[in-house]
Amino acid sequence: MNEIRQRIREAVDARLTTYKDLSAAIGRNHAYVQQFVERGTPQELRDRDLDTIMGVIGRAAESGPRQRAQGFAPVVIPGSSLVRPERTLPLYAAARGGDGHVIVSFDPIEYVKMPTILEGVKGGYGLLITGDSMVPAYWPGDTALIHPNLPPQRDTDVVLFHTPPKSLGDEEAVIKRLVGISDREWTLEQYHPARTFKEFRADWPICHRVVGKYNSR
């Protein structure tokens, strides 16, 4: 298995493919293969998944490394257009709970610079991430930027609560990827360990959308 991990890593490093494309080829979340290769996570790939991945790598090797589109020039956005210098965004801390849950304390531990995406948003806040269930999307110490007023939307990261958060109160919450919505259930995804599961909307009726993050590194 270590030899397979090495072959996948070498193919990605050579720009023959990406972890995201390999994960998509076997119907997994975008971080699955990267976790399998780099993070030493316990999940194993089935034989047919490995055959699919090796087939993708083989075809990519015949085509050669991916080339950047000609004429592409990244647009540099100044930091002042993304973050305001004023420290007006409340930052709340979370303590680890059971089963991937967290306890959020709505008593600000500090105020951080306001991202323009939350400027003027009523109730916007930052959430200091704890736990590793969403690695590598969020590492412990990262700050998720939360817009509490946007409607639920598939393929976005969300924070779910049992009850509406109250100032200076503590609330149980989960931060996950929202991959499906029905009248009765949320379909959620986490990355470490990788799994998809359902929760009743009646149990978790409050949904706040994550619209960005500040890296701790």
State the DSSP string of 56-123.
Answer: HHHHHHHH-S--PPTT--PPPPPGGGTEEEEEEEEEEEEEE-STT-EEEEEEEEEEEEEEGGGTT-TT
The pLDDT of residue 40 is 60
pLDDT for the residue numbered 52: 84
Q: At what angle do helices 47-63 and 2-13 cross, to 10 degrees?
A: 30
pLDDT for residue 184: 95
Contact 190, 178 (CB under 8 A): no
Bridge partners, 93 (sequence order): 105, 128
Distances (CA, A) of 40 to 10, 14, 32, 48, 93: 16, 21, 11, 20, 28
Q: How far apart are CA 191 and CA 26, in angstroms?
A: 15
DSSP assigned state of 151: P
Give the per-residue pLDDT at 10: 84
For position 72, what pLDDT does the model report?
A: 47
Contacts for 41 with CB less than 8 Å, ≥ 6 apart: 35, 192, 193, 194
Q: Give, for all 217 residues of the chain, the pLDDT tens digit.
A: 677 888 888 888 888 888 888 888 887 877 788 888 876 655 567 778 888 888 888 877 776 665 544 444 555 545 666 788 889 999 999 888 777 789 999 999 999 999 989 999 999 999 999 888 888 888 889 999 999 999 999 999 999 999 988 877 899 999 999 999 999 999 999 988 889 999 999 999 999 999 999 987 5
Q: What is the pLDDT, as a whole number, of residue 64?
A: 65
